[in-house]
A and B are shown apart, each in its own frame.
Chain A
Amino acid sequence: GQQLNQSPQSMFIQEGEDVSMNCTSSSIFNTWLWYKQDPGEGPVLLIALYKAGELTSNGRLTAQFGITRKDSFLNISASIPSDVGIYFCAGRTGTASKLTFGTGTRLQVTL
């Protein structure tokens, strides 16, 4: 089955640093979403993107829908300890609710 490739797999950064991660696919998606999973919890939606080229922000988070519709990027500015967790990208084709998830990026923030 299809999976989305995320990179990097894991990141260790210091508090205050900016973070960038990306997600690539061999197929086109018409919606890209970014989720965050806190330890011991289920994923929670951070940002949703609906148009190629779209740039959307949510506080310190900024995500972009790649113009090829095969990739997406997530940036976190001025990281803080509560940013720790696993970040997943997810893609959707058509209007179905079924999502394909990426392999995840594990973020660790040191003080």
Chain B
Amino acid sequence: NAGVTQTPKFQVLKTGQSMTLQCAQDMNHEYMSWYRQDPGMGLRLIHYSVGAGITDQGEVPNGYNVSRSTTEDFPLRLLSAAPSQTSVYFCASSFRTVNTGELFFGEGSRLTVL
């Protein structure tokens, strides 16, 4: 079982470039989300989705876009990268109907914007 798979694991961008971080899960989870992790800030929610075709903003959505065309995939797009978006990004998923609150995380994507 692959669980939550994120690609790429590492990426370096120049300011103004665009890119997409990919996230796929094979657990048939309805809920998927993106977090960013910064030193001293913990994990902050960027965007989330409760099912295919439904997305919503989290705590720090500016500069990021998402879409959810299938249950399995939840890509995160940076339209014009800025140095402030240098961070480690985590995708996480869970069942929406199982009331445990447990999220399953990917291994992370480390992004550096120069």
Question: Which chain A positions have C-beta within 8 A of B59?
Answer: 1-2
Instruction: Report Cα–Cα, A1/B44, bound state, in Å.
Output: 9
Which stretch in B11-19, B74-82, B99-107 binds the other chain?
B99-107
B42, A97: Cβ atoms under 8 Å? no
A42, B90: Cβ atoms under 8 Å? yes
Instruction: Report Cα–Cα, A31/B101, bound state, in Å.
Output: 7
B108, A97: Cβ atoms under 8 Å? no
B58, A42: Cβ atoms under 8 Å? no
Question: Which chain B positions have C-beta within 8 A of A98?
Answer: 33, 45, 48, 58
Chain A CB within 8 A of B40 CB: yes
A45, B103: Cβ atoms under 8 Å? yes
* Given A41-B108, A42-B108, A97-B94, A103 contacting B42 (CB threshold 8 A): yes
B42, A102: Cβ atoms under 8 Å? yes
A97, B90: Cβ atoms under 8 Å? no
Chain B CB within 8 A of A58 CB: no
Chain B CB within 8 A of A43 CB: yes
Question: Which chain B positions have C-beta within 8 A of A1?
Answer: 44-45, 58-60
User: Per-residue CB proximity of B42-75 to A under 8 Å, as 1/0?
Assistant: 1111001010000000111000000000000000
Question: Which chain A positions have C-beta within 8 A of B50?
Answer: 97
* Residue in chain B with minimal CB distance to A103: B42
B101, A103: Cβ atoms under 8 Å? no
Report A10 CB to chain B, min CB distance, Å.
Answer: 10
Chain B CB within 8 A of A44 CB: yes
